[in-house]
Amino acid sequence: MIQILKNKKRIAALMLAALLVSGLFTACRLDGKDPEVTAAPTAHAQEDPPAVSTVVMRSKNVDLTLYDFGQGFYNSQYFQYYMYGLIDPGQFCDAVVEELSGLMYALNAAIDDGMKLTQEETDEISEMFSDQLEELLDRYETEVPEDAADRRAAAKALLEEDLAEDGIDFEQFIELAENNMKLYKLVTKFYEKLESNIDVQEDEIRDYIAEQLESTAEASMSDIAQLYSAFSEGSGAYPVSFSDDCFSVDHIYLELEAQADEEGNVEYIKDSRAADEARIEELLPTLADYDAFMALEEELGEDPGMDIAGYRENGYLMHPDLENDYFDGFVYAAMNLRLGEWHSPRETSEEDPYTPPEIEFFTLLDGTRVVKVFTDSGIHYIIVNKEIKKGPVEYSVGDEHWNSWKSVVVSEKLGELNKELMASWKETYEIETDIYSIKLKYAPDSADQK
């Protein structure tokens, strides 16, 4: 629901990779310049890993360097399997090559299709990258002593140290990162063009609704909550039905300050936001209604979810079965807000005794109630957003729910189209891969060292 815990550690290579790779796309060369090639794809004489500027994947319009591969390596959908030792390093490298090959096929097709970025889009990317770079330097600056003469310069120096460990300088980093964002936009535009040509009939959407009603008839409330959240985040369709009466809530969230002990365990300081608590609780009784509460949330709230339009409109789904899906105490407080009095099933558990959190109520001028509760990491002032009835969702053709289901049907058709195009692209574009150099750096025990 909310990302609370702030990482105070030094930014590592993974952070850099996350910045360089937007979505699943990695930085490739499109400018026609040949980067330094220190080892030909068929030369296996070196015993040390090749330089990061080595080209390891070549195609008609796109070349990929070893450094670029590294960014895909850290952002692969299989990276967690690799981190926890659930996949062999050599097999993981093969999987990353396959992912990046799919990207390269699509990029080649986009370029041959004449896809280009407008000057406005290029300027937007540059501005976005500048903002991300400033955020990255902000994080590095937290590691600089407060009495440093120029903390920003010192932060940049720390970043450059980490970049040097990866074999690039600051200027190369800027070039790779901005180029990566341009590629992401280029491929996005290409797929948007493909999607715009997909036609969906009304009966296809009704078929989708019928299928979902059947498949989700026995869905758990947790599954429904995930669908609801995906819809609110703009990445999924609205649930076609609800297995029980539900409701949704919004909240004003204040993050508590935290401190770590010698072993790194984080403890939140309960009274660290006392001044902000007092201010909010002084204002709550003066607020006219729900809309006034949400205006105060926009001013003082610290939950990034509340900055997402979908969550502001739909709220967080609430039901007793979702107690474990949120911070401990959040659902308890929300249920008591809605019902007046509610007891968690855990209160009567002999195996796992539960002491409910303390809650406090406030009333707005129109009689709307707000409940306050402390969770492990913060303070929440919760208000009911809307009631949701059990059963199939009422809709009309062309409304928000209908369009969300239509988008899924379009996405499914786009996926089928992509499979067909990918088969064609594989025949059209050849990708030459230096798997030896890749594995020599990222999976040396799997490299075929001749």
The residue to which tokens 């070549």 are assigned: 58
Give the list of residues 6+ apart from residue 375 with CB closer than 8 angstroms, or none: 327, 328, 329, 330, 357
Residue 127, pLDDT score: 94
What's the rounded Cα separation, in Å, for the pair 324 and 408? Answer: 29
- Looking at per-residue pLDDT, the higher value among 317 and 49 belongs to 317
Q: How confident is the model at residue 74 (pLDDT cuts 50, 70, 90)?
A: confident
- pLDDT higher than 80, residue 450: no
Give the list of residues 6+ apart from residue 235 with CB closer than 8 angstroms, or none: none
Instruction: Out of 204-208, 267-271, 304-308, 344-348, give the one with best mean pLDDT.
Output: 204-208
Across 22-48, average pLDDT = 42
- pLDDT higher than 90, residue 155: yes
Residue 168, pLDDT score: 79
Burial status of residue 241 (CB atoms within 10 A of its CB: 0-12, 13-18, 19 or more): middle
Residue 23, pLDDT score: 33
Burial status of residue 164 (CB atoms within 10 A of its CB: 0-12, 13-18, 19 or more): exposed
In 3D space, the residue among 131, 139, 138 whose CA is nearest the CA of residue 178 turns out to be: 131
> Alpha helix (H) ranges present in 113-244?
119-141, 151-165, 170-196, 202-215, 221-232
Q: What is the H or E stretch that residue 404 is in?
A: helix 400-428
Quickly count: other Cβ atoms within 10 Å of residue 14's Cβ. Answer: 12
Contact status, residue 49 vs residue 440, Cβ threshold 8 Å: yes
Tell how many helices (H) and how many strands (E) occur in the chain.
15, 12
- Looking at per-residue pLDDT, the higher value among 9 and 275 belongs to 275
Which tokens go with 277?
């608590």
Q: Helix crossing, 13-20 with 119-141: angle to 10°?
A: 160
Instruction: Out of 17-26, 333-342, 439-448, give the one with best mean pLDDT.
Output: 333-342
Q: How confident is the model at residue 16 (pLDDT cuts 50, 70, 90)?
A: very low
Average pLDDT, the chain: 86
3-state helix, strand, coil in the chain (%, to 5): 50, 10, 35
- pLDDT higher than 70, residue 382: yes
pLDDT tens per residue, range 103-139: 999 999 999 999 999 999 999 999 999 999 999 999 9
Residue 448, pLDDT score: 66
Q: How confident is the model at residue 36 (pLDDT cuts 50, 70, 90)?
A: very low
Q: What is the pTM of this model?
A: 0.69
Contact status, residue 158 vs residue 170, Cβ threshold 8 Å: no
Q: Which residues does residue 90 pair with via DSSP β-bridges, in sequence order?
A: none
> Alpha helix (H) ranges present in 197-307?
202-215, 221-232, 274-283, 290-300
Residue 30, pLDDT score: 45
The residue to which tokens 């990207």 are assigned: 103
Contact status, residue 141 vs residue 151, Cβ threshold 8 Å: yes
What's the rounded Cα separation, in Å, for the pair 52 and 437? Answer: 10
**Would you say the C-alpha torsion 149, 151, 155, 160 has a positive or negative sign?**
negative
Give the list of residues 6+ apart from residue 264 with CB closer than 8 angstroms, or none: none
Instruction: Using alpha carbons only, give the angle 271, 273, 276 rounded to the nearest 5 degrees.
Output: 135
Residue 29, pLDDT score: 42
Instruction: Out of 158-167, 239-248, 261-270, give the one with best mean pLDDT.
Output: 239-248
In 3D space, the residue among 169, 174, 179, 163 whose CA is nearest the CA of residue 11 turns out to be: 163
Residue 14, pLDDT score: 33
pLDDT tens per residue, range 186-213: 989 999 999 999 999 999 999 999 999 9
Residue 110, pLDDT score: 95
Residue 47, pLDDT score: 61
Give the list of residues 6+ apart from residue 384 with CB closer than 8 angstroms, or none: 247, 248, 249, 334, 337, 338, 368
What's the rounded Cα separation, in Å, for the pair 352 and 47? Answer: 57
- Looking at per-residue pLDDT, the higher value among 449 and 92 belongs to 92
What's the rounded Cα separation, in Å, for the pair 165 and 427? Answer: 39
Q: How confident is the model at residue 100 (pLDDT cuts 50, 70, 90)?
A: very high
Across 84-109, average pLDDT = 93
pLDDT tens per residue, range 160-177: 998 887 777 899 888 877
What's the rounded Cα separation, in Å, for the pair 102 and 423? Answer: 10
In 3D space, the residue among 330, 353, 444, 383 whose CA is nearest the CA of residue 2 turns out to be: 330
The residue to which tokens 């670029």 are assigned: 68
- pLDDT higher than 70, residue 89: yes
**Would you say the C-alpha torsion 76, 81, 84, 87 has a positive or negative sign?**
negative
Quickly count: other Cβ atoms within 10 Å of residue 206's Cβ. Answer: 13
